[in-house]
Amino acid sequence: MHENDIKSISIRDFLKNQNVHPAKEYSTYGMYKSPFRDEETASFKVDYRANLWHDFGSGEGGSIIDLIMKMQQCNFIQAKQFLSICSFGHSSTENDLYSFQLDNSVSNSLFIKETKPLEHPKLLDFLQRRKINLETAKTFCKEIHYQIGGRNYFALGFPNDAGGYELRNPQFKGCLPPKEITTFDRQTRTVNLFEGFMDYLSLLTMQARQADVSAVVLNSITNLEKALPFLSKHTQINAFLDNDESGKRALKQLQNNKLPIVDYSKKYVEYKDVNDYLCGKKLVENQPKIIKSKGIKR
């Protein structure tokens, strides 16, 4: 990928994929709480038209390459390699989240060094900050050590049905291909449906008995079609989808397929997703308000 093509990757969509959202948003720019430090007042600006960022707290700024250099603590060449071997695909509507995953065509650039039980202190700290029960996480996740372009990385690894892994650490959200859904067939009439594995772990943290119920983790909203055959085997589908446009479209698609859907997103309507509900992290104030509910039983 040419350097100009890399720089054209949307900073806004990249941050959204990393679960970093604007505290305030306007037509041409967004104000974020800095991804580099804890702060109460948003001081990190992303100019949507110019596709540039500026951190007023540190005086730094630049293109997406500069952002990756700072986030990954790497040099210019490593940042370009990091972005070059990542594919950013988008669906038919511009509001959809970008998928941020390693491209199968460059699998020879990726080397899995080690897969081991989850134990790294930084990953455990990350889970604790997300309020996830550690024993639950250790049951479903591995610790993956891998190498890209000669640089070493490690992350939480959540396995999918095709032998790939969803990866997550405080600065990265991606996958080791192949990309696929994750299913848990526990022979129950009911099945729980999630967009991402952090939401699944969040529900199990709040309700441990849900580990006995069949479940599907899409690992990307674009995988919904792949999940339909498994979902259709059940008499009730509890949908724990995100309270955003892509989540609403997915819910509508399921309803249009005449599937027996129960929309649980209404239970955490003031929150983006199940993990934000668990963490008490409400949607930004400028989001439209919807009727409150009692929420998911903890």
Which segment, 109-118, 151-160, 267-276, is predicted with the most confidence on average? 267-276
Q: Are residues 145 and 188 in the same domain?
A: no
Pairing, β 236-240 against β 261-263: parallel
What does the CA dihedral 180, 181, 187, 192 come to, rounded to 10 degrees?
Answer: 180
Q: What percent of the chain has pLDDT over 90?
A: 55
Range with lowest mean pLDDT among 54-63, 88-97, 149-158, 240-249: 88-97
Pick 71 or 125 by higher pLDDT.
Answer: 125
Q: How far is 139 from 149, CA to CA, in rounded Å?
A: 30
The torsion angles phi and psi of 238, rounded to 5 degrees, stand at -90, 110
CATH number at residue 250: 3.40.1360.10
CATH number at residue 15: 3.90.580.10
Give the distance from CA 6 to its chain's centroid: 21
Mean pLDDT of 180-199: 97
As given in the structure block, the two tokens for residue 97 are 């989240």
What band does 231 get if pLDDT is binned at 50, 70 and 90? Answer: very high
Looking at residue 258, its amino acid is K
* Boundary residue ending a domain (156, 176, 196): 176
Q: Are residues 123 and 186 in the same domain?
A: no
* Boundary residue ending a domain (143, 176, 209): 176
Domain that holds residue 80: 3-84
Q: How far is 243 from 271, CA to CA, in rounded Å?
A: 7
**Exposed/middle/buried for 295, CB within 10 Å: 0-12, 13-18, 19+?**
middle
The torsion angles phi and psi of 248, rounded to 5 degrees, stand at -65, -40
Neighbouring C-alpha atoms within 13 Å toward the C-beta of 151: 16
Give the distance from CA 94 to its chain's centroid: 18
Which among 206, 254, 208, 264 is positioned nearest to 234, based on CA atoms? 254
The angle, 0 to 180 degrees and rounded to 10, between the axes of the packed helices 76-84 and 64-72 is 110
Q: Are residues 127 and 38 in the same domain?
A: no
Q: Are residues 167 and 200 in the same domain?
A: no
Confirm whether 148 is domain-assigned.
yes
What band does 106 get if pLDDT is binned at 50, 70 and 90? Answer: very low
Q: Are residues 139 and 69 in the same domain?
A: no
Residue 130: per-residue pLDDT: 95
Q: How far is 182 from 184, CA to CA, in rounded Å?
A: 7
Confirm whether 267 is domain-assigned.
yes
Pick 93 or 208 by higher pLDDT.
Answer: 208
Strand, coil or helix: 5: helix
Q: How many domains does the chain have?
A: 3
pTM: 0.65
Confirm whether 98 is domain-assigned.
no
Confirm whether 156 is domain-assigned.
yes
* Boundary residue ending a domain (144, 176, 208): 176
